[in-house]
Every structure is written in C-alpha cells, then in structure tokens.
Amino acid sequence: MSTNLPLINATQLSAHLKSLRKAQGLTQTQLGARIGVKQTRIADIERNPGAIAVDQLLQLLHALGARLELVPPSPPAVGTQGDTADW
C-alpha cells in the first residue's frame, strides 16, 4: 500500500518519521541499528529533522520502507496571486 504524505515543513516530517517508525513497531534503538547510529541520533532526528543530511534522511526512509519523492509546486490558478492579467 502506498501513501503519499506531502510535507510543507520540518515539523510535519518529524511527525511522519515517528509515525512510520511506530507503525513498524520499531524502537528508536532498533531503527538506529538499521542505519548504524545510536538511539540518541534517532531521537535528535525525530525532534529536529531539519538538521539531518540528505543522505542520512534517505537511509532512514529506506530503513522504514518509505521513499522521498520531490514534486514541483503547482502553478497558481488563474485569478490568484501571481496573475497579472487586468480584468
């Protein structure tokens, strides 16, 4: 089953990482062992995922069976911010 979880900020990433870990029944120690870091590093990442290097984030997502998909933002709709047409 695939679930897309769009993220806007690091706080959302924090909640998603913790939720993914718990959904698999993993402790922070067990997840850390999967990627070769200590429990305290997993706790730090869950608390402040904005401070994680991209390569470590990818390792973590792989260990959780998740993936990162970068999607460009949608352009603004006609008649909204960014539309310069004079009606």
List pLDDT tens digits, range 40-77: 999 999 998 888 888 998 999 999 998 877 777 778 77
Compute the average pLDDT of residues 14-37: 94
Determine contact, residues 28/42, Cβ cutoff 8 Å: yes
Q: Is 33 exposed, middle or buried (0-12, 13-18, 19+ CB in 10 A)?
A: middle
- Residue 22 within any structural domain of the chain: yes
- Residue 3 within any structural domain of the chain: no
- pLDDT value for 86: 47
Number of domains in the chain: 1
Helix (H, G, I), strand (E, B), or coil: what is residue 11? helix
- Residue 72 within any structural domain of the chain: no
Full residue range of the structural domain in which residue 19 is found = 10-63
- Residue 78 within any structural domain of the chain: no
- Residue 56 within any structural domain of the chain: yes
pTM to 2 decimals?
0.70
- What mean pLDDT, rounded, does the chain reach? 82
What lies within 8 Å, CB to CB, of 83 at 6+ separation is 76
Determine contact, residues 37/63, Cβ cutoff 8 Å: no
- Residue 73 within any structural domain of the chain: no
Task: Specify the CATH number for the domain of residue 37.
Answer: 1.10.260.40
